[in-house]
A and B are shown apart, each in its own frame.
Chain A
Amino acid sequence: MAVYIQAAAQISVQNPLCDDWLDNPVSYDVPFQRCIEADYKRFLDPVASRRMGKILKRAIATSVTVVEATGINDPDAIIVGTGLGCLETTEKFLMAMLEEGEEFLQPTNFINSTHNTISSHIAVHLKCTGYNSTYVHLGVSFESALLDAFMQFQLGRIKSALVGGFDEMIPNYFKVLDKVGFWKGKMAGETAVSFMLADNPGKNPMACINEVILLHNPDKERIEKAITDTSTRLGISREDWITPPSVKPLFGESFSNHAYDVYAAAVKMQRDLLPDNVLLVNKYLESETSLIFMTKC
């Protein structure tokens, strides 16, 4: 069974909502970089979006972009992966509570601090009452969302799904993670990627997803067994899978940044810049590993 990536859109430390990163990437020499923002007025009325922090605006902008590209206005599912959720609003609420006390706290900051506010904002914006969920599992948060979507297709429950990976980073939290050596010398970035998946190719499909596997504490043998078992099941020889170099260095580190690897692979496969069978491997420390099997449409 194949699920088609009909469209994808990104906002990142690279130029937003386009593929300049492919031939003309912006390069950085800083420890921490926030996204280059898109023009959100195109997507959102300023008064309507008054409560939205950057992560929410990016989510709406990338979602609307793939909706417009595919004409799928009411996807059957909206599923989001986010490792840390809405840090900006979480920090606002937390710092006000810690520094000013528990008396005059602002409800807006609390409401927009919960992880699922992202998928919910997208649903309200698109008026979409379908399946809706949010995954918050470390460096494989995006893949968890993708796996859920894939299973919904497998079970015949949905024909389309809007799947996204979103994470933001704020100076204070960057500092705190830096203190414990989390970044390991790599640049910290932010993530905002939306995919429109469907059970049919649409006008100009990018790539197909054929399987998504997540593994906890796997050793090399388990990972290899998962790859060979899947290869057999898909009727593709183990040797035919190519794993391209990760594009994470272009986009910076964040919990859901493997979404950029999927995005880049889809873009390149659509333009015949990658071979037919692509296997993406993501490792979060040694504890979580994901395998995504993609083929040319």
Chain B
Amino acid sequence: MEELILELKKQIIEALNLEDITPDDIDTNAPLFVEGLGLDSIDALELIVLMEKNYGIKLEDPGKSKEIFKSVATMAEYIQKNRTK
């Protein structure tokens, strides 16, 4: 799981172009949206692409994805359960 979390943080940094941020700067359990990193709806769409491209998980509805994208921890949990890649 630790490996997945680190991998996921690196992918998030790349997908969202968070230039000056390292994996250590991202708190695994902190909120990703509104507070914490302060991501928005476009970032949510980017994360949906990330999930499908890297892990084969298709998320059709950006609205329902709110719970999955709550934090890196919740994302990693969902990936572990549902990945096809």
Instruction: Tell me the A residues contacting B by CB distance below 8 Å.
Output: 46-48, 50-51, 103-108, 111
Query: Contact: B49 with A106, CB < 8 Å?
Result: yes
B30 to nearest A CB, angstroms?
A: 13
Say yes or no: A104-B52 contact (C-beta < 8 A), given A47-B38, A51-B42: yes
Say yes or no: A108-B52 contact (C-beta < 8 A), given A47-B38, A50-B16, A50-B17: no
Q: Give me 24 A-to-B residue pairs in the complex whose CB atoms sit less than 8 angstroms apart, sorted by A's number.
A: A46-B18, A46-B19, A46-B20, A47-B18, A47-B21, A47-B37, A50-B17, A50-B18, A50-B19, A51-B17, A51-B42, A103-B52, A103-B53, A104-B49, A105-B49, A106-B46, A106-B49, A107-B42, A107-B45, A107-B49, A108-B17, A108-B42, A108-B46, A111-B42
Residues of A within 8 A of B21 (CB): 46-47
Q: Please, how many angstroms separate the alpha-carbon atoms of A28 and B21 in the complex?
A: 35
A140 to nearest B CB, angstroms?
A: 33
Query: Contact: B17 with A104, CB < 8 Å?
Result: no
Residues of A within 8 A of B20 (CB): 46
Residues of B within 8 A of A105 (CB): 49
Q: Please, how many angstroms separate the alpha-carbon atoms of A106 and B52 in the complex?
A: 12
- Of all chain A residues, the one with the shortest Cβ separation from B49 is A104
- Of all chain A residues, the one with the shortest Cβ separation from B37 is A47
A124 to nearest B CB, angstroms?
A: 12
Q: Please, how many angstroms separate the alpha-carbon atoms of A111 and B45 in the complex?
A: 12
Q: Please, how many angstroms separate the alpha-carbon atoms of A251 and B21 in the complex?
A: 34
Q: Interface residues of B toward A: which range?
A: 10 to 19
A-B interface, 7 closest residue pairs, ranked by CB to CB distance from nearest: A104-B53, A107-B45, A50-B17, A46-B20, A104-B49, A50-B18, A107-B42
A22 to nearest B CB, angstroms?
A: 33
Q: Please, how many angstroms separate the alpha-carbon atoms of A106 and B46 in the complex?
A: 6
Say yes or no: A106-B18 contact (C-beta < 8 A), given A47-B38, A51-B42: no
Q: Please, how many angstroms separate the alpha-carbon atoms of A150 and B37 in the complex?
A: 42
Residues of B within 8 A of A50 (CB): 16-19
Whether, in the assembled complex, B15 has its beta carbon less than 8 Å from a beta carbon of chain A, the answer is yes
Interface 1/0 per residue, B15-29 and A, CB below 8 Å: 111111100000000
- Of all chain B residues, the one with the shortest Cβ separation from A45 is B38
Interface 1/0 per residue, B52-70 and A, CB below 8 Å: 1100000000000000000
Residues of A within 8 A of B19 (CB): 46, 50
Q: Please, how many angstroms separate the alpha-carbon atoms of A104 and B21 in the complex?
A: 24
